[in-house]
Amino acid sequence: MIAAAASRDGSSAAVMAGEAPLRERGQREVFCGLTGIVWLHRKIQDAFFLVVGSRTCAHLLQSAAGVMIFAEPRFATAIIEERDLAGLADANAELDKAVDQLLVRRPDIRLLFLVGSCPSEVIKLDLTRAAQRLSGKHAPKVRILSYSGSGIETTFTQGEDACLAALVPTLPVAETQPSLLVVGTLADVVEDQFRRMFSALGIDNVYFLPAHRDAEMPPVGPTTRYLLAQPFLADTARALDERGAQRLAAPFPLGAEGTAAFFGAAAKAWNVDPTLFQQVIAPAQERAARGLARYRAQLQGKSIFFFPDSQLEIPLARFLSRELEMQPLEIGTPYLHRQHLAEELALLPPDMVITEGQHIDRQLDRCRAARPDLTVCGLGIANPLEALGLTTKWSIELLFTPIHGFEQAADLAELFARPLLRRNLLVA
Amino acid sequence: MQLALWTYEGPPHVGAMRVATALTDVHYVLHAPQGDTYADLLFTMIERRHHRPPVTYTTFQARDLGGDTAELFKTAAREAFERFAPKAMLVGASCTGELIQDDPGGLARALSLPIPIVALELPSYQRKENWGASETFYQLVRTLAGPQASAERAPRDKSRRPRCNLLGPTALGFRHRDDVKEVSGLLNQLGVDVAVVAPLDASAADIARLGEADFNVVLYPEIALTAAQWLQRNFGQPMLQTVPIGAGATRDFIAEVVKVAGIEAVDPAQFEPRATWYAKSVDSTYLTGKRVYIFGDATHAIAAARVAVEELGFTLVGLGTYSREFARETRAAATKYGVDALISDDYLAVEAQIEAVQPELVLGTQMERHVAKRHGIPCAVISAPVHVQDFPARYAPQMGVEGANVLFDTWVHPLMMGLEEHLLTMFRDDFEFHDQARPSHLPAHRPAVNPGASRGAEVIQLPQRETAPEIAADVAWTVDAESELKKIPFFVRGKARRNTERFARDSGVATITIETLYEAKAHFGR
């Protein structure tokens, strides 16, 4: 995984025409990949996420998810103790014990993820082998996989990437007929809309990764074409490529334009008749446009500043600038995958300031100096910026809200309009 | 390894952050991996602070591990000093930082910054948040106040009012903000001035002059006891350890202040909270003997036990704490009220005990709220960890006179009102007002229906946990007895079932009839 992190940097060093992102290094105010568990465990309903880490990891998870009142959460932490570090306890035996304990308590679990953290990576606890060993023990009832959600290797949504990339090698082999795979966690309502849309276009054999249950995970093979629904899936895409699947290059399905182009990429690959394509998407596209018009009046001409968080920043800036006529001042992203974002970058207005990485204090200086109308940032800096009189939109919400597709285009715009509306509503 | 679903306390560096964030001009440079900045949210969201915590993280990544992480730390410390110009600096490592062993203390000293540097050694794999806060505060006091220490203490100049320090309130403390205000007001009324409140809103200079006060008030022993003991040894300052939570404890506190400060005795009647009368008023009679379970940090749990038993007339059925450092004090309190203390940081152990004793009210932390909700038991929060709703906008102390009033309202509120309770007992099958209709302020919660999932057919059914399988195995209920049991109001029904089954087993009855039910009732007296 450390090698993978290095190669990600390698690929992002390739310069793309027209864009000169500023690469910054310094303190990064971002989540680690463990946070992905918060939404992944709701999506995969018979999966359990066991973090192997420290009390800090457990504390992060409950701080991020703690306001939800669970009957019982499907995630936990095996907290490394002094004796594990001193080598007094065989860490592997301890882990096996924790897993046994867990599976007795939750007999309904079919898929268990051992999730690596900074401490487990630094002490080089081999969770891949642990997962193999435990799979042997608990098969066929429970499958056990591993991935790393550590902060040293993954930033926020990259946790989902690592999780899905771990799933890919275990996916069933696809039949010979062509199939379409939509990759990335989507809200259930969005998934259903997409299914109906593909069906109307005459594209059958559509699958989604991840599926709701372990037994329903999609097949993959050389006849698979896949569309990335999220921009942060570098390792998952690479793993799918290794299985012979082919990526359909497309913008991400955010906003009416992005969604149309997303479906357009699939339609082209399936040779869908252009007239049929128009017939199918036009009503939804028109509905989305009507919904967006309401918010354009509120957002038009407003400046916006993105702090890096989820890698959604570039597609969002594209949507906000082209469909709502906002003016991005700086688009920060934790990591820029040029190949996957090529279509998005081509649609962005020229001379956009894109920053990859972060030096939080300097970036805050720039933000304060620019005084944007709206700042998209994490919760660690949102209230402090509000206290300085800047209006903020906290970015994590974008991962927990249905924002993809035609029907959600206006909802997505509303997320950005709401803080501005609120500022106007509150007297003094 | 310890399997943890929830954790009562964070890692010790979060405790250090709570001290740093409480102070006004001290910066904390923390050697930690990318992602550990999540802790900022606790302060900006849960406590809704206006400013970022004064913490600089090195946020190293995997690629840095091959290089010079020590250099990364030095750069971060130097930049933090230049940008924030603090009057003192805390340096330390988080759990992962601890593993890579870069020695933040040595590195920071090598920078020769013109301010005091406090190097924190917080063993992340052994200790927890409160210990981290306590250790940080202690080291800070040693470093900043230490140079002023003098063995001899001059007697107080009688022409000025006695003055004391309030020690222990931090950022992210449960009601610390209002407790400080309440206790300061109380002391002021008694004729005592507050010299320094620390660490909350104190500066480095304030910490340096801690030794000038006549005595110290330890508001939160979990955080300030170690520092206060050090001040006692090195400055000869006596300390007050009575924590004024509840009417009785407030009375004791006042008496102790009078003694230690050497001031005139006061009439306790003027410090009697309204809650004392409220508890005496006939409306509160139905509170008598309500069975209450208490869990939290040691200070709040012990204080709550006294209020529950001596001031509200509840029956204590369980007392526990996650503060291992104060296990002895908690055990002593439990013994006093005739229960066994639970010392554990495993929320499943707490849940098991709540299930076993079937209380009518749970006083606990955010986690006990989850447990109580799951079991349909009324609950109020008395201790950290807490969520955003327990950092209220309104004045809501736990300490002193107003604190006692707040406690009365907060604890009685989730209980069913007396009249409601009577009617439930009399008219069991009322079509609108039945035991399935929860009080309006307790949201319905039925674990069998999973409300979060939109795809009903695919929802995992949570495993139904047996309520005491070891009891159910050897005694059976007749249909008549079972239906008679249902005539008992639901909030005491669990206890009645358990008592009856216990009675049946003890007296060798295999099948419980209506007769057995009433025999058991007569035996246990309730």
Residue B76 phi, psi dihedral angles, 5° rounding: -60, -45
What's the token pair of residue A200? 């109307």
Q: CA of B209: how far to CAs of A36, A58, B170, B212, B236, in Å?
A: 47, 38, 18, 6, 14
The answer to whether residues B267 and B284 belong to one domain is: no
CB contact (8 A) between residue B59 and residue A71: no
Looking at chain B, the whole-number percentage of residues with pLDDT higher than 90 is 69
For residue B30, the model assigns a pLDDT of: 98
Residue B96 has pLDDT above 60, yes or no: yes
Residue B293 has pLDDT above 60, yes or no: yes
Question: What is the extent of the structural domain holding A306?
Answer: 276-427
In a domain, B429, yes or no: no
In a domain, A160, yes or no: no
Size of chain A in residues: 428
The answer to whether residues A209 and A335 belong to one domain is: no
In a domain, A14, yes or no: no
Spatial distance between the Cα atoms of A84 and A91, rounded to a whole number of angstroms: 6
Beta-carbon pairs below 8 A across chains A and B: 211
Tens digits of residue pLDDT in A354-395: 999 999 999 999 999 999 999 999 999 999 999 999 999 999
Using the 3D structure, point to which of B387, B405, B424 is the last residue of a domain.
Answer: B424
The answer to whether residues A263 and A314 belong to one domain is: no
The answer to whether residues A284 and A418 belong to one domain is: yes
Give the residue from A334, A193, A187, A333 showing the smallest Cα distance to A259: A193
Number of Cβ within 10 Å of residue B53's Cβ equals 25
Residue A266: give its domain's CATH number.
3.40.50.1980
The answer to whether residues B215 and B121 belong to one domain is: no
In a domain, A28, yes or no: no
Give the residue from B130, B75, B132 showing the smallest Cα distance to B98: B132
For residues B516-520, give the mean pLDDT.
86
Q: CA of A119: how far to CAs of A27, A34, A83, B9, in Å?
A: 19, 13, 14, 18
Return the higher-pLDDT residue of B137 and A65: B137
Q: How many degrees, rounded to 5, is the angle at CA B425 between CA B424 and CA B427? A: 65
Give the residue from B51, B69, B52 showing the smallest Cα distance to B60: B69
CB contact (8 A) between residue B42 and residue A79: no
From chain B, pick out residues whose CB is under 8 angstroms from the CB of A64: 38
Interface of B with A in 68-127 (CB under 8 A): 76, 79, 83, 94-96, 99-100, 123-126
pLDDT category of residue B450 using cuts at 50, 70 and 90:
very low
Using the 3D structure, point to which of B224, B254, B271 is the last residue of a domain.
Answer: B271
For residue B433, the model assigns a pLDDT of: 58
Spatial distance between the Cα atoms of A99 and A80, rounded to a whole number of angstroms: 14
Residue B400: give its domain's CATH number.
3.40.50.1980
The answer to whether residues B481 and B405 belong to one domain is: no
Give the residue from A354, A199, A338 showing the smallest Cα distance to A263: A199
pLDDT category of residue B370 using cuts at 50, 70 and 90:
confident
In a domain, B450, yes or no: no
Number of domains in chain A: 3
| Bridge partner residues of B193 (DSSP) | B163
Type of residue at A29: E
CB contact (8 A) between residue B462 and residue A97: no
From chain B, pick out residues whose CB is under 8 angstroms from the CB of A100: none
In a domain, B148, yes or no: no
| Bridge partner residues of B291 (DSSP) | B315
Spatial distance between the Cα atoms of A219 and A266, rounded to a whole number of angstroms: 18
| Bridge partner residues of A327 (DSSP) | A303
Number of Cβ within 10 Å of residue B413's Cβ equals 12
pLDDT category of residue B482 using cuts at 50, 70 and 90:
confident
Pairing of strands B315-321, B341-343: parallel
In a domain, B200, yes or no: yes
The answer to whether residues A334 and A398 belong to one domain is: yes
The answer to whether residues A191 and A234 belong to one domain is: yes
Contacts from B308-311 at CB under 8 Å and sequence distance 24+?
A: B308/B363, B308/B411, B309/B337, B310/B246, B310/B248, B311/B246, B311/B247, B311/B248, B311/B275, B311/B276, B311/B279, B311/B404
Spatial distance between the Cα atoms of B282 and B236, rounded to a whole number of angstroms: 49
From chain B, pick out residues whose CB is under 8 angstroms from the CB of A54: 11, 95-96, 124-125
The answer to whether residues A145 and A43 belong to one domain is: yes
Residue B447 has pLDDT above 80, yes or no: no
The answer to whether residues B350 and B382 belong to one domain is: yes
* ipTM of model: 0.92
In a domain, A87, yes or no: yes
The answer to whether residues A290 and A401 belong to one domain is: yes
Determine the 3-state secondary structure of A337 from DSSP: coil
Residue B497: give its domain's CATH number.
1.10.8.550
Tens digits of residue pLDDT in A251-269: 999 999 999 999 999 999 9
Nearest to B44 among A35, A361, A383 (CB): A383
Nearest to B128 among A45, A55, A188 (CB): A55
Spatial distance between the Cα atoms of A128 and A115, rounded to a whole number of angstroms: 10
Helices (H), A270-373: 274-299, 313-323, 342-347, 360-370
For residue B396, the model assigns a pLDDT of: 98
The answer to whether residues B405 and B505 belong to one domain is: no
In a domain, A172, yes or no: no
The answer to whether residues B168 and B229 belong to one domain is: yes
The answer to whether residues A344 and A417 belong to one domain is: yes
Among all residues of chain A, which has the CA nearest to that of B61?
Answer: A152
Return the higher-pLDDT residue of B5 and A236: A236
Helices (H), B23-158: 39-41, 62-65, 69-84, 95-100, 104-110, 129-145
In a domain, A330, yes or no: yes
Quick check: B164 and B261 in contact, CB under 8 A? yes
Spatial distance between the Cα atoms of A359 and A282, rounded to a whole number of angstroms: 44
Place of tokens 């955080």: B223
For residue B373, the model assigns a pLDDT of: 83
In a domain, B397, yes or no: yes
What's the token pair of residue A423? 């500022």
| Bridge partner residues of A248 (DSSP) | none
The answer to whether residues B352 and B217 belong to one domain is: no
What's the token pair of residue A277? 């394509």
Helices (H), B416-513: 418-426, 469-472, 479-485, 490-506
Cis peptide before B11 (omega within 30 of 0): no
Q: Confirm whether residue A57 is marked as ligand binding.
A: yes
Spatial distance between the Cα atoms of A113 and A132, rounded to a whole number of angstroms: 11
Spatial distance between the Cα atoms of A69 and B113, rounded to a whole number of angstroms: 47
Give the residue from B326, B321, B330, B421 showing the smallest Cα distance to B368: B321
The answer to whether residues A140 and A58 belong to one domain is: yes
The answer to whether residues A143 and A189 belong to one domain is: no
For residues B161-177, give the mean pLDDT.
97
Q: How many degrees, rounded to 5, is the angle at CA A165 between CA A164 and CA A170? A: 90
Comparing A256-260, B279-283, B427-431, which segment has the lowest mean pLDDT? B427-431
Question: What is the extent of the structural domain holding B108?
Answer: 12-129
Q: Confirm whether residue B407 is marked as ligand binding.
A: no
The answer to whether residues B332 and B418 belong to one domain is: yes
Q: What is the DSSP string of B344-357?
A: -S-HHHHHHHHHHH
In a domain, A89, yes or no: yes
Spatial distance between the Cα atoms of B386 and B364, rounded to a whole number of angstroms: 10
Determine the 3-state secondary structure of B342 from DSSP: strand
Quick check: B165 and B134 in contact, CB under 8 A? no
B502 shares contact with chain A (CB less than 8 Å): no
The answer to whether residues B283 and B376 belong to one domain is: yes
Spatial distance between the Cα atoms of B169 and A385, rounded to a whole number of angstroms: 26
For residue A218, the model assigns a pLDDT of: 97
Residue B461 has pLDDT above 70, yes or no: no
Spatial distance between the Cα atoms of A286 and A274, rounded to a whole number of angstroms: 17
Residue A155 phi, psi dihedral angles, 5° rounding: -115, 115
Using the 3D structure, point to which of A270, A291, A324 is the last residue of a domain.
Answer: A270
Residue B165 has pLDDT above 80, yes or no: yes
Q: What is the DSSP string of A104-123?
A: HH-TT--EEEEEE-HHHHHT
The answer to whether residues A339 and A422 belong to one domain is: yes
Using the 3D structure, point to which of B397, B424, B451 is the last residue of a domain.
Answer: B424
pLDDT tens track, chain A, 428 positions: 233 333 333 333 333 434 567 888 999 999 999 999 999 999 999 999 999 999 999 999 988 776 555 657 799 999 999 988 887 678 899 999 999 999 998 999 999 999 999 999 999 999 999 999 999 999 899 999 999 999 999 999 999 999 999 999 999 998 889 999 999 999 999 999 999 999 999 999 999 999 999 999 999 999 999 999 999 999 999 999 999 999 999 999 999 999 999 999 999 999 999 999 999 999 999 999 999 999 999 999 999 999 999 999 999 999 999 999 999 999 999 999 999 999 999 999 888 899 999 999 999 999 999 999 999 999 999 999 999 999 999 999 999 899 999 999 999 999 999 999 999 999 76
For residue A6, the model assigns a pLDDT of: 33
How high does pLDDT run on average in chain B? 89
CB contact (8 A) between residue B95 and residue A54: yes
For residue A63, the model assigns a pLDDT of: 83
Determine the 3-state secondary structure of A347 from DSSP: helix
Return the higher-pLDDT residue of B33 and B515: B33
For residues B59-67, give the mean pLDDT.
90
Pairing of strands A22-24, A354-357: parallel
Nearest to B4 among A58, A94, A106 (CB): A58
Give the residue from B248, B247, B266, B252 showing the smallest Cα distance to B188: B266
For residues B260-278, give the mean pLDDT.
93
- Those residues with Cβ within 8 angstroms of residue A140's Cβ, 6 or more apart along the chain or in another chain: none
Q: Residue B278 is inside which H or E element, if any? A: helix B274-280
CB contact (8 A) between residue A85 and residue B3: no
Residues of B with catalytic function: 283
Instruction: Please list the helix, strand and coil fractions of chain B in percent, rounded to the nearest 5, in that order.
Output: 50, 15, 35
The answer to whether residues B303 and B351 belong to one domain is: yes
Using the 3D structure, point to which of A252, A270, A288 is the last residue of a domain.
Answer: A270
Give the residue from A58, A29, A236 showing the smallest Cα distance to A147: A236
Ramachandran area for residue A148 (φ above 0: left; ψ -120 to 50: alpha; else beta)? beta
The answer to whether residues B279 and B266 belong to one domain is: no
In a domain, B453, yes or no: no
Q: What is the pTM of this model?
A: 0.90
Q: Confirm whether residue B419 is marked as ligand binding.
A: yes
Pairing of strands B291-296, B361-364: parallel
The answer to whether residues B286 and B420 belong to one domain is: yes
Number of domains in chain B: 4
For residue A211, the model assigns a pLDDT of: 97
For residues B501-518, give the mean pLDDT.
89
Spatial distance between the Cα atoms of A395 and A387, rounded to a whole number of angstroms: 18
CB contact (8 A) between residue B10 and residue A55: yes
* Torsion on CA atoms A130, A132, A136, A137, rounded to nearest 10: 20
For residue A7, the model assigns a pLDDT of: 33
For residue B468, the model assigns a pLDDT of: 39
In a domain, A190, yes or no: yes
CB contact (8 A) between residue B100 and residue A34: no
Determine the 3-state secondary structure of B250 from DSSP: helix
What is the distance in angstroms between the Cα of B435 and the nearest Cα belonging to chain A? 21
The answer to whether residues A285 and A213 belong to one domain is: no
In a domain, B111, yes or no: yes
* Torsion on CA atoms A412, A416, A420, A421, rounded to nearest 10: 10
Q: Burial level of B448, CB count in 10 A (0-12/13-18/19+)?
A: exposed
| DSSP 8-state code for residue B308 | I
For residue B28, the model assigns a pLDDT of: 98
Determine the 3-state secondary structure of B69 from DSSP: helix
For residues B151-168, give the mean pLDDT.
87
Give the residue from A14, A19, A8, A26 showing the smallest Cα distance to A354: A19
